[in-house]
Structure formats: C-alpha cells, structure tokens
C-alpha cells in the first residue's frame, strides 16, 4: 500500500493561516557560495583562454572529448538529418507547434514592436525606432531531459523579431545528441548550434571566443550554474530572466473533474522537487476530491517520487471563503502558471492582476501552453510576475527615441530647456538650446501665438483668474491687488499675456519718464506674473522679450526692475537676459538695469 501524500491542507478561516501561508511561499533564491565561486572561475577562464577553456571544461563536465571547437558545432546538414530521423508524428507535432508559436509572435510583433512617429504642431518629429538585436544566444537544457519546446519558444520569437543571427548552445553529456532538439533547431531557424553547456557556454556567448560569436542577449533556462553565470554576465549582455522553480496555481470553483486538476498539479510537480503546485478553492468537498485523486493517480506516474517530494515540500490545497478571496491570494502569489478552472473564467479574469500566463476554463490545461497553444512558455517565476512579463518578440528588439526638432520647434523648446538647465546648474545645456534661437531674447515670441495686450474690459475676466504659483507668493502679489495698485498710478499700465486666446500671465509696467519726483528715460517692470498652470514654458522670457522690444519702439534708453532679496528670487533669471545689478537697494528690493544701447 502506498503512503499517503502529505500535502498541506490550509484554510483562510484558520487563525494561523497567514504564517502557514508564508511557509508555503518561502523559497530562497540565494545561490550556494561554492557555486558562485566556481562559476566566477569558469567565466574568468573562458574570457582568458577562449576556445581552449571551453574545450577543456566541456571534456571535464560533459565527458565530451573534442580536438577543436569545430567538432562541437553542429552544421546545417546534421540539423536537417535530425529532422528526417524523427518519427512522422514527432515531425508533425513540432511543425504544428512551431506554426502556432510563430503566428502568435507575429501578431505580438505587430501589436508591440513596430516603429512609430508623428509631427507636432510646429513640425517637430517625435517617435520611436524599433530595431532587432544583431545576434542572440539561446541556451537549451540537456542532460537528464531534452526540451525541444524550449528551442521553439526561444528561437522563434527571435526569428520573428528579425534577429540577424541566432546562436544555440545545448550540452550533450557523453556526446548524446538528441534528435528532437536538433530537429526543433532546424524548424525554429537557429543559425549556429554548439554542443556546449553550463557556465562555460554562457561565458562563451557573453564574451565571444575565436569560434563562438559574442551575442547581444542570452535567453533560456538552465541549472544553478547557468543561472549564476547569466546573473554575472548581465550588463555585458542582456538576459531574459533568472528563472526559479516551476509553479502552477489552480483557482477552481469545483466544476472541473477532480482528476483533471490533480493531473494539472502533477504537471509542474514532476519538473523537480522544488516545483510548486497550489490549489485555491472555496469548496471543501471538492478539495477533498482532488486530494483523493492525487492519492489514486500518483502511483501511476513514472516520476512519482519527484511529484511526491514537490507536493509535500512546497504544495498546498487551500480552502478559501470565496473565489474573490482566492483571486486576491493569487495576486499575492503572482504565479508562473495560473489556471482558472471555472465554469465562468471570464468572470474572474478581470480580478487577476499578476501571473506569467493565465489559462482560462476547464479545457485549458497548462501543458497545452507549454507546447503548442502559441504564447511563450518562458515565464516569470518566484513572484516576479508582479513586475515582469513572458519572453516575447519585445525581448529581441530595442527601442530608440526619435527627435527631429524643427526651426520653429527650437524657438518654443529652447527657452523651456534653457530655463530648466540653468536651474540645474548646467550652463552648457542651456547655451546649446539658446544658440538655436533666431535672434536671442528679442525674437523668442515669434514661433508661438504669444501676445501682450492692455488689460481692459474684453479680457479682465480672464486676467482675474490668473494665479500666483505657490513658490512665488513671497515675491509676487495676487492679480486683484496688482490691478488695484496700478489703477491709482498714472505712470503705470497693466498688460495681459496671452498664448492664443489663453491668458497666461500679467505685467505691470511703469513709465519712469512721467515720474514727477525722479524722472528717467526708463521703462520699469513693476511686476511680472506667470500663471501657476503655465510655469516653466518660457512665458517669462517671452514677456521680457516683448518688454525689450516695446522699450525700443518707444525710445527708452533702458529697462529697469527690482526684486526682493529672499531665497528663490528671480535675479539669476534676469541676469541671463542681460540685466545687471546697479548696487542700489530700495525698500529691501535690489535694483537691476538693462541698457538698450547695443542689446
């Protein structure tokens, strides 16, 4: 009689559910220090000795003696021979799966990975250029198991993306070359295939040797040595992800035959002892039925020992209060594979935010996704589905921003960029933007619909809605107070600033020539206010450009202004426009002057 399967039975109604649940989820991604040290040595050796190191390490770890790297490369003829050697049923299965995977990723390419661009109102072109990577490396596990499906899932998206060269590496312990894997490489479009594996294969792809070409990105699963090597070479090359143990979570409403769900849990547990299989269900009787099916079906499985170890070590059958609660728990787990085994899967799908892949409905077994449904089976594990995605076409392209600024656009964007650059203390950035302006400060208003108008009945309502920015209230009075002040000053005038028909600010100007006590040939900027909603868009500079032009038109010799000497004052802004401090201070305000002769 077989021993019972001691898989955890939890209930969200239990007082100790949370600590029990955390024990189920716990898995350490930390790698063994000895593995890390050995991998570092292997990578350094391959970098230093290239092909010689790869040959030596392949002989040591895989038992494959080769006099040269040429003996470890599989040519196109051998790949085609492997395709001919497999059974007709195997070939049909591989070709059907490849066709579905290729079709899916072609649609993905159109939806996510095409270049685009547009021109804005001033003729500036903006967009994104999408280009495929030049060369990628795909790692295919070998040894105890052969994975032709991994070849399809890694190589086909790269081929669809337009990658120029696909270099495949696959270990062949004791020289055993798997015909299914090689046939899959032929169908999937691998350009070159090397029978090398482990950390030495990753290092060869990342740094290149005399024979193995250096790639731009490495994808594909492997053992702890491969994962460690991928982590170490990241930055030298791109990688897809660092995969943890395989996972499945089944969210069930009790409508699917219990045997089906038990077998779906087995489908991931049979990968290895650290794989995780979890059932979430609000029906206690159904959970008991699934448990019974596990006990009954397990002895029939060739990998029963591995499945048992996985279910007892990291598996769980969890009774929830409702399917809504089950969805919430699933989001916390963020599983690699999530089956919604329900009569109404579309009802629950909107509640599920985090999963590598969603399998909707009783007939959608996870195994179909592994082989032939179409979407990629390289998925985020260990909760990383919270922030990462399945392998796809988008992993084999890169995006480049496109910017072509028109002359008119430079006049609009230059003042904005310069203002921000000066604020960051990067004067060269600011000057580079300013050098492209047509004629300096005086010409800044030309490319936008900027205008200055006297405040009158036609625009007073719009002007009254202007607001002082929060950081400027210590320096600038509100609009109503400013208008009240200028109303009683014969030498003053209020001017509204517009962009099109949108009021963006206001100025108070003072004609010093009319001052009875101390007249001078000067136009004085009494107040400058840019609405809080329109800060950092260059309107302050445009306004001052208009003032300079106005002063010239009216024959003034200079433009004057002053500011309160408090932190955050606008003195630096005015200095950039050519104003200089006079050294005078009047009622706490420092005076500045711009001489118009030669400006």
pLDDT band at 443 (very low <50, low <70, confident <90, very high): very low
Q: Tens of pLDDT along 174-208?
A: 999 999 999 999 999 999 999 999 999 999 999 99
Q: Tens of pLDDT along 462-474?
A: 999 998 887 787 7
Torsion of CA 386, 390, 394, 400, to 10 degrees: 20
pLDDT band at 599 (very low <50, low <70, confident <90, very high): very low
Number of CB atoms found within 10 A of residue 291's CB: 18
Sequence-distant (≥ 6) Cβ neighbours of residue 117 within 8 angstroms = 125, 126, 127, 128, 402
pLDDT at residue 1, rounded to an integer: 61
pLDDT band at 448 (very low <50, low <70, confident <90, very high): low
Tell me which residues are annotated as active site: 336-337
Strands 522-530 and 502-511: antiparallel
pLDDT of 445 over the 80 cut:
no
**Cα–Cα dist 568/589, whole Å:** 14
572 within 8 A of 422, measured Cβ to Cβ: yes
pLDDT of 457 over the 50 cut:
yes
180 within 8 A of 99, measured Cβ to Cβ: no
pLDDT of 167 over the 90 cut:
yes
Q: Tens of pLDDT along 486-514?
A: 888 999 999 999 999 999 999 999 999 99
pLDDT at residue 380, rounded to an integer: 95
What are the chain's domains?
Answer: 33-112+138-239 (3.40.50.1980), 244-387 (3.40.50.1980), 438-595 (3.40.630.30)
Q: Tens of pLDDT along 242-267?
A: 988 999 999 999 999 999 999 999 99
Q: How far is CA 494 from CA 385, 391, 497, 502, 564, in A?
A: 59, 62, 10, 17, 21
């Amino acid at each position: 009689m077989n021993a019972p399967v001691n898989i955890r039975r939890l209930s969200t109604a239990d007082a100790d559910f949370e600590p029990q649940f955390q024990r189920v989820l716990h898995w350490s991604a930390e790698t063994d220090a000895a593995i890390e040290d050995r991998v570092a040595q292997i990578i350094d050796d391959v970098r230093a000795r290239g092909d010689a190191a790869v040959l030596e390490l392949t002989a040591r770890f895989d038992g494959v003696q080769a006099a040269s790297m040429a003996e470890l490369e599989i040519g196109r003829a051998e790949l085609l021979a492997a395709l001919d050697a497999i059974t007709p049923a195997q070939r049909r299965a591989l070709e059907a799966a490849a066709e579905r995977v290729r079709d899916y990723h072609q649609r993905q390419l159109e939806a996510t990975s095409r270049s685009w661009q547009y021109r804005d109102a001033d003729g500036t072109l903006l967009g994104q250029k999408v280009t495929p990577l030049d060369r990628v490396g795909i790692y295919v596990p070998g040894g105890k198991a052969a994975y032709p499906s991994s070849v399809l899932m890694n190589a086909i998206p790269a081929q669809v993306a337009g990658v120029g060269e696909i270099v495949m590496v696959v270990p062949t312990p004791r020289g055993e070359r798997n015909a299914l894997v090689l046939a899959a490489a032929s169908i999937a479009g691998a350009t070159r295939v090397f029978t090398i594996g482990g950390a030495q294969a990753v290092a060869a792809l990342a740094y290149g040797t005399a024979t193995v070409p250096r790639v731009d990105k490495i994808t594909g699963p492997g053992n702890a040595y491969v994962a460690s090597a991928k982590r170490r070479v990241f930055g030298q090359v791109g990688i897809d992800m660092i995969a943890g143990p395989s996972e499945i979570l089944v969210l069930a409403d009790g409508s699917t035959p219990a045997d089906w769900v038990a077998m779906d849990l087995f489908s991931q547990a049979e990968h290895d002892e650290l794989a995780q299989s979890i059932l979430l269900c609000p029906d206690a009787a159904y959970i008991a039925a699934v448990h019974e099916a596990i006990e009954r079906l397990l002895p029939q499985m060739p990998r029963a020992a591995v499945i048992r170890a996985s279910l007892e070590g990291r598996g769980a059958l969890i009774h929830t209060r409702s399917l809504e609660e089950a969805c919430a728990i699933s989001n916390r787990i963020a599983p690699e594979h999530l089956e919604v085994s329900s009569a109404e899967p579309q009802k629950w799908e909107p509640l599920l935010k985090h999963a590598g892949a969603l399998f909707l409905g009783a007939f959608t077994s996870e195994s179909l996704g592994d082989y032939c449904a179409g979407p990629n089976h390289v998925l985020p594990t260990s909760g990383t589905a919270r922030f990462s995605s399945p392998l796809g076409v988008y992993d084999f392209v890169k995006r480049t921003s496109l910017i072509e600024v028109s002359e008119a656009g430079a006049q609009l964007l230059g003042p904005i960029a310069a203002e921000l650059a000066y604020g960051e203390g990067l004067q060269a950035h600011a000057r580079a933007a300013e050098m492209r302006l047509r004629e300096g400060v005086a010409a800044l208003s030309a490319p936008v619909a900027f205008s200055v108008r006297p405040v009158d009945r036609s625009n007073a309502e719009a002007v009254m809605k202007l607001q002082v920015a929060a950081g400027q209230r210590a320096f600038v009075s509100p609009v109503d107070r400013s208008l009240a002040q200028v109303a009683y000053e014969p030498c003053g005038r209020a001017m509204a600033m517009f962009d099109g028909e949108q009021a963006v600010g206001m100025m108070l100007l003072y004609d010093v020539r009319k001052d009875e006590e101390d007249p001078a040939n000067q136009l004085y900027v009494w107040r400058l206010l840019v609405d809080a909603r329109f800060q950092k868009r260059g309107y302050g500079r445009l306004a001052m450009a208009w003032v300079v032009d106005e002063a010239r038109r009216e024959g003034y010799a200079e433009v004057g202004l002053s500011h309160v000497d408090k932190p955050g004052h606008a003195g630096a802004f005015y200095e950039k426009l050519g104003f200089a401090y006079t050294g005078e201070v009047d009622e706490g305000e420092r005076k500045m002057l711009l001489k118009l002769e030669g400006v």
